[in-house]
Amino acid sequence: AETVKAFGGIDILVNCASAIFPAPTERIDLKRLDLMWQITTRAPLLTAKHCVPHLKRSAKEGRNPHILTCSPPVNFYGDWPQPSNPNYMVCKMGMTTGAMAMANELRAYGVAANTLWPATAIATSAMNHLAGNDPKTIDDVYMAHGRTPEIQADAAYAIFTSKSSGFSANQCIDQDIVVRAGCQDLSIYDYSRSGVTREDRLKHILRL
Query: Annotated catalytic residue: which of 88, 142, 189, 191?
Result: 88
pLDDT for the residue 94:
95
Question: 208: pLDDT confidence band, cut at 50, 70 and 90?
Answer: low
Q: What is the mean pLDDT of residues 155-176?
A: 98
pLDDT for the residue 42:
97
Identify which has the larger pLDDT, 81 or 187.
187
Reported as a single tens digit per residue, the pLDDT across 27-69 is 999 999 999 999 999 999 999 999 999 999 999 999 999 999 9
Percent of the chain with pLDDT over 70: 99
pLDDT for the residue 144:
87
Residues forming a β-bridge with 147:
122, 190
Q: Is 142 a catalytic residue?
A: no
Q: For residue 151, which amino acid is it? A: I
**Dihedral angle at the C-alpha atoms of 189, 179, 90, 109, nearest 10 degrees?**
130
Three-state SS sequence of the chain: CHHHHHHCCCCEEEECCCCCCCCCHHHCCHHHHHHHHHHHHHHHHHHHHHHHHHHHHHHHCCCCCEEEECCCCCCCCCCCCCCCCHHHHHHHHHHHHHHHHHHHHHHHHCCEEEEEECCCEECCHHHHHHCCCCHHHHHHHHHHHEECCHHHHHHHHHHHCCCCCCCCCCEEEHHHHHHHCCCCCHHHHEHHHCCCCHHHHHCCCCCC
Antiparallel, parallel or unpaired: β 112-117 and 12-15: unpaired
Lowest mean pLDDT among 55-59, 119-123, 125-129, 153-157: 125-129
Q: Residue 82: how many CB atoms within 10 A of its CB?
A: 12
The reported pTM is 0.92
d(CA 131, CA 118) in angstroms, rounded, equals 18
pLDDT for the residue 145:
86
